[in-house]
Chain A
């Protein structure tokens, strides 16, 4: 069975500082993708970053980077230079190649609050 675990229900960070949101996953599949989505209060899920299981380098997208540690099955999101607009729910998700890459298994989310 596939499972995503986010152990931080809520996080606070000072504006302009970096923050790490934790995510661990469990799967017996060898080929999978890991995603992070941002969900503001308006409700839509906004794609942030993707990491493939065979990618050797950690993914980066602007201020977002994914700290992928395959042996530990972790895929933490690092947000550098936090901004007030980063306050939202953040979801880690996994999808499997065997099925297709858009059937997601989501974690329970982390609510990030950026303080001015």
Chain B
């Protein structure tokens, strides 16, 4: 596709429900990132994939958060037993990234707005 695509755009979940958020990166992009953006705040890093390998998951807030990218393309962010504090916009970004290439641009999707009620 032309850009990073995320689905669904909006998700309302009851507290305790499991949710899965999907990210379709730009074709051929090696790197994929997930960010969490709380209302009125800047995005915060969650996790990073290089192809199918999850190289950094230091930003995942708890073990209820799990991300995968099994074939090095589409990625899914799963949140188990959702809590109200999980309400946020979840942004996915991808880039061609050659390690250390400082000029590589990251392209962001429009995000999934998750509301836990």
Residues on A facing B (Cβ under 8 Å)? 4, 6, 33, 37, 42-47, 50, 52, 91, 93, 97, 99-109
Contact = CB atoms under 8 A, between A and B. Distances in A.
Q: Is the interface of A mostly helix, strand, loop or mixed?
A: strand
A104 B102 contact: no
Main secondary structure of the interface of B (DSSP, over half): loop
Interface residues of B, number: 31
B99 interface: yes
Contacts of A4: 42
Contacts of B41: 108-109
Given A100-B97, A102-B93, A44 B43 contact: no
Given A101-B97, A102-B97, A109-B41, A47 B102 contact: no
Contacts of B113: 43
B31 A100 contact: yes
B45 A104 contact: yes
Nearest to A40: B110
Given A43-B89, A45-B93, A52-B102, A102 B33 contact: yes
Contact of B109 (A33, A44, A106, A109): A44
B110 A108 contact: no
Interface of B: 3, 31, 33, 35, 40-45, 48, 56, 89, 91, 93, 95, 97, 99-111, 113
7 contacts: A50-B103, A52-B102, A97-B100, A100-B97, A102-B93, A102-B95, A106-B42
B108 A45 contact: yes
Contacts of B95: 102
Nearest to B47: A103
